[in-house]
């Protein structure tokens, strides 16, 4: 059902945790499946300098959270904001159709964190 890459990010998630003095925080959830995701970002010189996540949910939700942190870290804020739901799924070598909403959550959480950062710094 899951690719080796999904299983790796589920069993060995990267960038788990919280950034206490985060520049932006994005929280999203899917009431249908119960997944809840929070992404914290630290921005330096218009780049995602640090990124962490906390996710309550299924293995796919944890894997997509982990993957989006890897995709976003080091990118400019604009480039990170452009990471799509499909980018996350493709980076994990695919997700089952019934789990695609998890990649939506990861992309939405990152965009929410960047929106929060931008609202504080506009």
The residue extents of the domains of the chain are: 4-120
pLDDT above 80 (res 66):
yes
pLDDT above 90 (res 79):
yes
Query: pTM (2 decimals)?
Result: 0.93
Name the fold adopted by 4-120.
Sufe protein. Chain: A (3.90.1010)
Cβ(112)–Cβ(26) under 8 Å? yes
Q: What is the pLDDT of residue 47?
A: 98
Cβ(16)–Cβ(70) under 8 Å? no
Which residues are catalytically annotated?
Answer: 33, 102
* Residue of 98, 115, 119, 118 lying closest to 28 (CA atoms): 115
Cβ(69)–Cβ(106) under 8 Å? no
pLDDT in tens, 23-44: 999 999 977 778 899 999 999 9
Averaged over 2-18, what is the pLDDT?
96
């Amino acid at each position: 059902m899951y690719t080796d890459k999904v299983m790796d990010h589920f069993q060995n998630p990267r960038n788990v945790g919280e950034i206490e003095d985060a520049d932006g925080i994005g929280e999203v959830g899917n009431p249908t499946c119960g997944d809840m995701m929070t992404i914290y970002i630290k921005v330096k010189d218009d780049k995602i300098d640090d990124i962490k996540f906390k996710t309550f949910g299924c293995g796919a939700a944890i894997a997509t959270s982990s993957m989006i942190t890897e995709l976003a870290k080091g990118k400019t804020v604009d480039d990170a904001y452009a990471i799509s739901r499909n980018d996350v799924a493709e980076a994990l070598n695919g997700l089952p159709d019934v789990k695609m909403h998890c990649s939506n959550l990861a992309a939405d959480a990152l965009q929410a964190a960047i929106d929060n950062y931008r609202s504080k710094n506009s």
